[in-house]
Structure 1
Amino acid sequence: MLTIKRVETVVSMHQQLEQVPGCGRDCLGNCCIPGAKLPLYTFGIKQTLGSNKRAHTSSDDHCVPGDVGDFNDYEADDSPQENYFLDELLLAQWEDRMVRGLFRYDVTACETKMLPGEYGFIAQLNEGRHLQKRPTEFRVDQVLQPFDPKKFNFTKVGQEEILFQFGPSEDNVSEFYEKAPVLSSPNVVAINVSPIEYGHVLLVPRVLDRLPQRIDQDSFLLALYMAAEANNPYFRLGYNSLGAFATINHLHFQAYYLAAPFPIERAPTTRVSYGRKKGGVKVYELSKFPVRGLVFEMCNSLEDLSVAVANACVYLQNNNIPYNVLITDRGSRVFVLPQCFAERQARGEVDQEILDTQVNPAVWEISGHIVLKQRKDYDLATEEYAWKLLAEVSLSAERFEEVKAECLKAAFEGPPSDSMAQPPALPNGGSYNLLEKEQAVLIKSNIHKANSMDGVVPNVGEVGVEG
């Protein structure tokens, strides 16, 4: 089994080996990035949409199979899976960084177990994350806060923490370039140096634009593309807003592999009539799950799904409602989960027994993968504990009905034009469109594709939980 060498860190996991131009840390900042080259993965949008398969049937009854041992149980049909390339490349690059000692602890050594019960909540003992994770540096009572360049952000990480740039190709074919010029503000995939699970990475849209942690339609569509391109039911993306346990105010999504269904994926849902035939998106409501939330399902395209979900998220963040998002089923199914744990904690309404565990219920915990920081809590963890923890997160039934109505209105009619949280303007009237001409030109004119990918991807063993 691979082991991870512990390394000292201050701002980044990058260790200076020799003097280089810039600040000496070979970071993503303006001091070091000019002239730099990083790997680039380009994905074909049409190919991605065509190969997407849901992990559940097209009926109204959503059910992720309980048997997690057979990969094919996740398939909605018997057709072969396509587009393994991103999946294999990401894991190979992640393992390379593990061998090079860029993580703060060995997440593969963390104990994990499935709690007995109806839902199969998953508990992990991760004392390293508790001791070494970066502390929150901003207010937890404001979902929207301006970007502060003085605080930690992803332009301060070392370039060796970046697995690759990630963007659409011009010819709808997925390709990988070992060295490519850094785009004006690339989307990047980086390791999470304080991982929760195997393959834990961060997707940072337009990293050099220094966007605060808030969702817009372009950034959310990019996250859906990544889920679809990976094309692996064990790979999910998550998002935490400020106030819902995001710890860095720089726009990012998280993702990792877990070889088991999340309990939230197995929870029963009921159809929400609003928007039944609008926008090519179906909407459901979680029923019999400790956290109340909405489930958006793709019918026609990722673009339709992205517009609906992003509009709902814009409503939440503009109205200062903390929320979490989980992207599953290769990008075709999205859970939107407004929450109020921090607010209840500030009012002294959270049970002290829950507070003593020091668990911050972010997207992974809400989904049913609960990261525990203390041995005693791990040893005593039960499904009843998990249910009690998550019940403290949820909006009341009455409050949720109000929020649900406004989210659906925003999803299918759009939030009021004056309430849209727009990112700051780019210089010279630039655009944030994912298909920027500049990107296509750079890809075609300045990049030389690797002659062969043979040997790049090592054999990847089993991933996920034990027991």
Structure 2
Amino acid sequence: MMLRIKRVPTLVSNHQREEEEEKARRNGGGCGRNCLNKCCIQGARLPLYTFKSVNKNVNEKDLIGDEKKEPPVAFLDSLVLGEWEDRMQRGLFRYDVTACETKLNEGRHLKKRPTEFRVDKVLQPFDANKFNFTKVGQEEVLFQFGASDDDEANFFPYAPIDVGDSPSVVAINVSPIEYGHVLLIPRILDCLPQRIDRESFLLALHMAAEAGNPYFRLGYNSLGAFATINHLHFQAYYLAVPFPIEKAPTRRITTTDEGVKISELSNYPVRGLVFEGGNTLINLSNAVSDSCICLQDNNIPYNVLISDSGKLIFLFPQCYAEKQALGEVSPELLDTQVNPAVWEISGHMVLKRKQDYEEASEENAWRLLAEVSLSEERFQEVMGLIFEAIACKIDANGNTALGMGEKAEGESGTHPMMVPGKQECLALRSALAS
């Protein structure tokens, strides 16, 4: 049975509603929107930031290269946040997310945002007839992002777009849910569907490492777990408070031969896995991306949070959309219209109704997130699939078998996430939903 949930499409680009107009006015000389598609991209130039590819332990202080050499430009402050603010001043966003009401509420961050649209399967083929990021206007793109050819970080203000070697780009989300909300779109011209692969996930970790700030996180939603566009992309934004998930206690399960530590969340409403460490950044990336590929191949929706400058990664298999389609979610929760994706699961609750915002509580957030989580029995089955995919076996007693480097351990307590500043909880915010 194919499950479907009807939703209103979320607008991430100002050109999303202009597709019919584009067809009407296209005359072979470009669509007139200065987009990233073949009709307009020839001869286009965009800023380019190239990172130094590093192959060393991810727990070392500096992930982006030689500490003695300054980067060519302040990646987070100038390129991401600075250019994001430039687009805000130019009026490219649908509303001013910085002007929203804010309050604190026991560790959950709440905000009101536009409704998102339905998906029914984790893996679906790319459909060029639907909105995709090649239709984004070039003014919405902040810069191209990729590995350096000379093993040094570089910045080029006006770099040509290499159509033959599809560039990865960072673009604004015109319906932001937080300050600095951007999209990382790997190999944009290859028109990849929303599915993780090793190369794209490593690129996302490099972006987190280049930012070098624990308050800048990246998130990924699969189809079936409230991704809104079937074109491969990660989301990211800056929020200067710790997420509740980053302070949740964990139970160590095992450590791989490559040094990647894998733990299970405990005392948190959504069951999930935590990955950290590794002998190299690639080791950590491969462990997580192979786990994601396993979930995709088994049609299990999931969300990923990349935290602590790329050193800490949370993986959440989930089932909320399936429960919705099967009529197994209470009308009270359905009335909130909250779509629990990566940010909501991490503790940044995005609300749509003023009533829910005013009555927000940790208890209400916990009730919603509990519906997102797999049952304990199903979660154990899914963990077995994941560990088999990354050459790790679980025995009949739930213990990790030999071959992964380290036996399971007990409770590790609150995760040692090093986040400077206040530690009490997240801000609650109600954003305009125009």
Q: TM-score, normalised by structure 2?
A: 0.81
Q: Does the residue aligned with 2:92 lie in a helix, a strand or coil?
A: coil
Q: Which has the higher contact order (CA 8 A, sep 6+)?
A: 2
Any residues of structure 2 matched to 1:251-330 within 5 Å, and which? 251-273=232-254, 276-330=255-309
Separation in structure 2 between the aligned mates of residue 300 and residue 196 of structure 1, nearest angstrom? 35
Please, which of 174, 188, 197 is the counterpart of residue 193 of structure 1?
Answer: 174
Asked if the contact 1:52–1:228 (Cα under 8 Å) also holds between the matched residues in 2, the reply is no
TM-aligned CA distance change 1:406 to 1:123, over 3 Å: same
Gap change, CA 1:100 and 1:296, over 3 Å in 2: same
The residue number in structure 1 matching 2:401 is none
1:85 Cα deviation (Å)?
1.7
| Kept after mapping to 2: 8 A contact 1:361/1:390 | yes
Aligned length: 373
| Contact 2:15 2:137 survives alignment (8 Å) | no
Task: Render the CA deviation track for 1:199-235: whole Å, top value 9, x for unaligned.
Answer: 0000000000000000000000000000001100100
Aligned to 1:226: 207
Contact 1:242 1:322 in 2 (8 A): yes
Gaps of 5+ in 1: 1-7, 56-78, 415-463
Q: Distance in 1 between matches of 2:427 and 2:61?
A: 24
- SS of 2:227's partner is coil
Q: Which runs of 5+ in 2 are unaligned?
A: 1-12, 394-425, 430-434
How far off is 1:356 after superposition? 0.6
Describe the superposition over 1:221-255 as per-residue Cα deviations: whole angstroms up to 9, x where unpaired. Answer: 00000000110010000000000000100000000
TM-score (norm 1): 0.75
- Equivalent position of 2:381 in the other structure: 402
* Pair 10,156 (structure 1): closer, same or farther in 2 beyond 3 Å: closer
Q: Residue deviations 1:97-138, cap 9 Å, x none? A: 00000011111112232213xxx11112x2xx32xx6x52x6
Aligned equivalent of 1:359, options 338, 355, 367 = 338
CA–CA distance in structure 1, aligned partners of residues 141 and 173 of structure 2? 10
Aligned to 1:211: 192
The answer to whether structure 1 residue 147 and structure 2 residue 126 are counterparts is yes
Hey, what does 1:434 align to over in structure 2? none
Residue 95 of structure 2 is matched in structure 1 by 105
Alignment match of 2:352 (pick from 351, 360, 373): 373
Cα–Cα, structure 1 residues 10 and 164, in superposed 2: closer, same or farther, change >3 Å?
closer
DSSP 3-state at the match of 2:39: coil
How many angstroms does 1:172 deviate by? Answer: 2.4
Identity of aligned residues (%): 62
- Aligned-pair CA distance for 1:383: 0.2
Distance 1:317 1:371, change over 3 A: same
Which residue of the other structure, out of 59, 66, 90, is the alignment partner of 2:80? 90
Distance 1:105 1:306, change over 3 A: same
Q: Secondary structure at the match of 1:272?
A: strand
What is the letter of the counterpart of residue 260 of structure 1? V
Distance 1:122 1:255 in 2: 16
Q: 1:53–1:329: 8 Å Cα contact kept in structure 2?
A: no
Root-mean-square deviation (CA), in Å? 2.8
Structure 2: which amino acid aligns with 1:283?
I
